[in-house]
């Protein structure tokens, strides 16, 4: 399995967003350091999710960037994505691993060391850990765990920890110092005027 990219761009399909434009801007900057996770809003049909994932997959290929699909693992299989990401409301990690196969990249959401260790034992190849900071992109989340919460998880597992939730280039150094391998973002790339420039800022923070 190729090494995991450090910058995870999660697609924003809320009204008024153009997820493909953001992916197109980020790819030439981050190249193989980019992991694009296709995440769609609940009201999105499988056909719409498939069409978006198929396009993202095609855009990623020439850059050797990784393409994952959030929640809908049948869509991941249908577009031959590199893998998927599951959380508490999705297929259990072991079932997701059976669906995707042994070689797939499989991310699981974790918030504390016990859940993190269980997810890894069940077959997760990386963990999405958070919310680290307050986010405006997803509602209904528990309080942020901050860099200290990331550290607690990172010390409990050997797989890459991807910090998520309110991440910006300015908060990356503290998250990295806490043991995060990389970060996942929605707003930091999808709600800015120049996503290519924002990608460069995040990559610089992740690789220094
Ligand atoms: C990298 C990463 N980490 C966490 C999540 C959240 O997944 P989940 O808890 O299943 O919530 P939804 O994204 O499905 O709303 C993620 N998607 N990616
Ligand atoms: C899907 C998800 N899970 C925890 S926070 C989050 C959204 C992160 O979005 P942003 O980077 O805009 O805070
Ligand atoms: Mg989910």
Q: Is residue 109 part of a domain?
A: yes
Ligand 1 centroid – CA 62 distance (Å): 26
The domain in which residue 99 lies consists of 7-207
pLDDT at 66: 98
203 near 33, Cβ under 8 Å? yes
Q: What DSSP designation does 120 have? A: H
> In this structure, is residue 2 part of a structural domain?
no
Nearest CA to ligand 1 atom 4: 128
Question: What does the pLDDT read at residue 123?
Answer: 98
**What pLDDT is attached to residue 47?**
98
pLDDT per residue rounded down to tens, the chain (208 residues):
458 999 999 999 999 999 999 999 999 999 999 999 999 999 999 999 999 999 999 999 999 999 999 999 999 999 999 999 999 999 999 999 999 999 999 999 999 999 999 999 999 999 999 999 999 999 999 999 999 999 999 999 999 999 999 999 999 999 999 999 999 999 999 999 999 999 999 999 999 8
In this prediction, the answer to ipTM > 0.90 reads yes
Residue 1 lies in a domain: no
Residue 49 is assigned to a structural domain of this protein: yes
Cβ–ligand 1 distance for 87 under 6 Å, the answer yes
In this prediction, residue 208 carries a pLDDT of 84
Q: Please give the pLDDT value at position 59.
A: 98
Decide: helix, strand or coil at residue 84.
strand
- For the chain, the 3-state helix, strand and coil shares in percent, each to the nearest 5, are 40, 15, 40
Using the atom order of ligand 1, give the atom closest to the CA of residue 184: 1
Domain assignment present for residue 85? The answer is: yes
Nearest to 21, CA basis, from 164, 201, 206, 192: 192
Does 165 reside within a domain?
A: yes
By the 8 A CB rule, do 24 and 58 touch? Answer: no
Query: Model's pTM, two decimal places?
Result: 0.98
Question: Which atom of ligand 1 is nearest to 128's Cα?
Answer: 3
Sheet strands (E) in the chain: 7-10, 34-38, 66-70, 83-86, 105-110, 126-129, 161-164, 182-185
Ligand 3 ion: residues within 5 Å (CB): 71, 87, 90
Substitution site in 71, 89, 128 for ligand 1 pocket (most atoms within 8 Å of beta carbon): 128
Give me the residue label for tokens 């095609």. Answer: 58
Q: Is 70 in the pocket of ligand 1 (CB under 6 A)?
A: yes
Tokens 């090494």 sit at which residue?
3
- CATH code, 182: 3.20.20.70
């Amino acid at each position: 399995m190729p090494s995991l990219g450090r910058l995870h761009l999660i697609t924003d399909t809320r009204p008024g967003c153009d997820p493909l434009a953001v992916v197109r801007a980020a790819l030439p900057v981050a190249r193989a350091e980019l992991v694009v996770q296709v995440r769609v809003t609940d009201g999105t049909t499988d056909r719409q999710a498939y069409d978006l994932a198929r396009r993202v997959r095609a855009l990623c290929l020439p850059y050797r960037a990784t393409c994952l699909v959030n929640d809908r693992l049948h869509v991941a299989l249908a577009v031959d994505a590199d893998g998927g990401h599951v959380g508490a409301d999705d297929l259990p990690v072991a079932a997701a691993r059976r669906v995707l196969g042994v070689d797939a990249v499989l991310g699981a959401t974790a918030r504390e060391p016990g859940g993190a260790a269980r997810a890894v034992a069940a077959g997760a190849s990386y963990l999405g850990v958070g919310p680290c900071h307050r986010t405006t992109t997803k509602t209904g989340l528990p309080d942020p765990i901050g860099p200290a919460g990331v550290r607690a998880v990172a010390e409990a597992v050997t797989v890459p920890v991807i910090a998520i939730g309110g991440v910006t280039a300015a908060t990356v150094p503290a998250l990295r110092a806490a043991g995060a391998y990389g970060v996942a973002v929605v707003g930091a790339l999808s709600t800015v005027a120049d996503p290519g420039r924002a990608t460069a800022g995040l990559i610089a923070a992740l690789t220094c």
